[in-house]
Each structure stands twice: as C-alpha cells, then as structure tokens.
Amino acid sequence: MKFVCEKEKLMIGLNTVSRSSVSRTTTPILDGILINVTNENIILTTNDSEIGMECKIEYIEALETGKTVVDCKMFCDIIRKLPNGEITIYVNDKNLLVIECEGSIYKLSTLNANEFPLLPTINVEKSVSVSSKILKELIKKTIFAISMEENRPVFTGSLFEVKENLLNVVSVDGFRLALRKALVTDASEDFSAIVPGKYLNEIVKNLQEADDLVKIGTAKNQALFELPNCKIVTRLLEGEFLNYNNVIPKDKETRIKVNKNSLQGAIERASIFSITAAEKEKKYPIKMFVTLGSLIISCTSQIGDAKEEVIVETSGKELEIGFNPKYMLDALKVIDDEEVYLDFGSNISPCIIRSVVDDTYTYMVLPVRLKE
C-alpha cells in the first residue's frame, strides 16, 4: 500500500470518520482506522460496533493498492501537525505505516486489516431523502431535549418519524419536548426510528449547510445516513417512544404573542437569581405573570430578587405560572423567528411555544409549582 495525498483532503476525511473512534473499548482494533487504497480512491473507515463511518477521498497518486489499520487518534494527530502540502504514506517491509512530508518521517505499528469489522451491509427497507441543511437544523434544534437518564433508554434518542410527506424529529426528557418538521417528497413509505443522541452529535458534525441530499434508511435495528462521499451506520434504540401528539395540549386558555429576543433577554437576566453561588445545588424558578398587554417575569432567592416586564399581545385569562428558566431558554435559543406564541392552559399545564407564521416547530415545557 502506497499513496500520495494532499494534507487538506486527508484531514477532511479524517475529521469525518475520527469522531466515531474514541477510546471506549478494550479491543485495540476498534480504536483503529482502516485505510484502504483502491484504484479509484482512499476509503477511510472507523467502527466501534455501535456506530461506523466511512469516507472516500481522492489521492494525487496511488502507487500501490492495499489496506491496513493504525491507531486512529495517533494517525490523526500526526497528520494534523504536519505542514500543508503533499504527504506520502506507505507500509514498509517491516509492516510499519510510514508517513513522509517534507523533512518529517513518522512510523506507526499496524494491525491486521482483515480483522477490522467492516460496516454492515444494510438492506434498506424504508428510506427518505432530505437536504443536508434541513437535516442539520432538525437535529440541532431538537437534540437539547434528549434525556440524559439511562433508566429510560428510549428517551436518550430522537424519534425520526416520516408521516404524510413530513419528516418529524422529536426529543423528550420528561420535562420538555422539542418537535421540528420538514416537508419531504420521496419517502418510500411512512416509518419511524429512534436514533441515539450520542450518535446524532456525530452525524450533525458531518452535515453541511448545503442542499446536498442525505438519504436516511432503516432496516431492523440499524439506520444508514448516506452523505456525499460519506456514510454513517448506527444502531437504533428499541422500545415505544412517547405518543407526542397525545401529550401536546390542543386547547389553551391564555395566549401571548411576544418578541422572541425580548422574552429571551428578560428570562436570561431574571434567571441570574435562579442559581446563587452560596446555593449551587438549589435552583429557584422564574415566575411569569400574564396580564393584559404585559408579561411580568420575576425570580426571588435568598440574595435578592429580579423583575422584568415585557410588552406582549394577550388573549384569554390572566395567569401566574413558574418554570425552570433553563428549559425555557433552551427552546427560545434555537428559534429564529422574530415573534412567537406562548400558549397556556392552567398554572399546572405545560407551556407550548409555537411559530407565529407556520407549524414547523413546537416546544413544550412543563411548569414547576410555585410556593405560596
């Protein structure tokens, strides 16, 4: 195996696949990267048996085809620190991987490429295609609501649901819910799958702000994300996801229309008193009082209190309700709209945050009980 490649191109490929190869296994080859030089391209592969990534890159010259496995982190660190330009890489007669660039020469021990677990071949049963830009937005603007509690494994992932030409991505952690929708046109049929959040973090890092199509396919307990020159295979979570349509309230007794940035700023300022230095473990809620044309946000703790007033359009009843400010802010921070609706039932019902202009997103935050 021997090839010459530009450092920049090689780093693009390594940055794509190396994120899935981290030291979380006692099997050395799973911490490795498979380098396969063919007549057409270089194929870089990492696979830890739960998530696998494959990326194809072009070389300047392939002097000898072949494949080998080296420690992924070490290989990436060496390539990253080399000067820009052409890099020659080959396996010598002592079965060491040699890396040459200008005056630099590095040698790495190799592992048997035949023992490396190749990505599984997925016979896709159901699929949908969506632009890279839209998919990235759907994931980034819902992933914050994924549960960190392993005692409910099904909530540690996001639901991907294709239904009636819509791709819905839903995350829930028991305290809030995040839902984003996007129109799709080439779904094979309706389906749903729960993708683990830790793998979505890896996937979203490889999505570009572009209109390139990403194909999402599922089969049994695995999902395949096919990107240009790259594919990612992950396992799926098994279990029954929350029937989110049934838990999002349909009725409201109070609605406010508010400038999103004004609301976000007021909550951020008031929540300074939510956690104090003297009581790091204790969290104080913010209180919202909805009245005609006004939303008063306050927070009181042992060191003081804060009060903010935001001008709103109000319809329905007056209401006093409490929230964990972090949950409200997490939702507001991923909304780009200038104005939003906040819908309330009673002071023990969830707050629903919706778009003023369309129905592409819904965020639900459960209230906290206020002390008398």
Q: The CATH number of the domain where 98 resides is what?
A: 3.10.150.10
Residue 233 shares a structural domain with residue 253? no
Q: Are 36 and 8 in contact (CB under 8 A)?
A: no
Domain presence at residue 121: no
Q: Are 70 and 109 in contact (CB under 8 A)?
A: yes
Q: What does the H/E/C string look like for 85-140? A: CEEEEEECCCCEEEEEECCEEEEEECECHHHCCCCCCCCCCEEEEEEHHHHHHHHH
Task: Name the domain boundary from 115, 148, 164.
Answer: 115
Helix, strand, coil proportions of the chain in percent (round to 5)? 20, 45, 35
Domain presence at residue 47: yes
Q: Are 11 and 79 in contact (CB under 8 A)?
A: yes
Rounded to whole angstroms, how far apart are CA atoms 21 and 28?
11
Domain presence at residue 7: yes
Residue 309 shares a structural domain with residue 335? yes
Contacts of 124 (CB under 8 A, 6+ apart): 217, 218, 219, 224
Domain presence at residue 372: no
Domain presence at residue 19: yes
Domain residue limits at 83: 2-115
Whose CA is closest to 47, among 97, 120, 122?
120
**pTM of the entire predicted model:** 0.90
Helix (H) and strand (E) counts in the chain:
7, 26
Rounded to whole angstroms, how far apart are CA atoms 155 and 353?
21
Task: Name the domain boundary from 245, 280, 315.
Answer: 245
Residue 7 shares a structural domain with residue 103? yes
> Tokens representing 244?
């989110």
In a structure prediction context, what are the per-residue pLDDT tens digits for the chain, which is 372 residues long? 999 999 999 999 999 998 654 445 568 899 999 999 999 999 999 998 889 999 999 999 999 999 999 999 999 999 999 999 999 999 999 999 999 999 999 999 999 999 999 888 888 989 999 999 999 999 999 999 999 988 889 999 999 999 988 999 999 999 999 999 999 878 878 999 999 999 998 899 889 888 889 999 998 899 999 988 899 999 999 999 999 999 999 999 999 999 999 999 999 999 988 875 455 555 789 999 999 999 999 998 888 899 999 999 999 999 999 999 999 999 999 999 999 999 999 999 999 999 999 999 999 999 998 876
CB atoms within 10 A of CB 268: 15
Rounded to whole angstroms, how far apart are CA atoms 285 and 265?
16
Whose CA is closest to 5, among 91, 110, 93, 101?
101
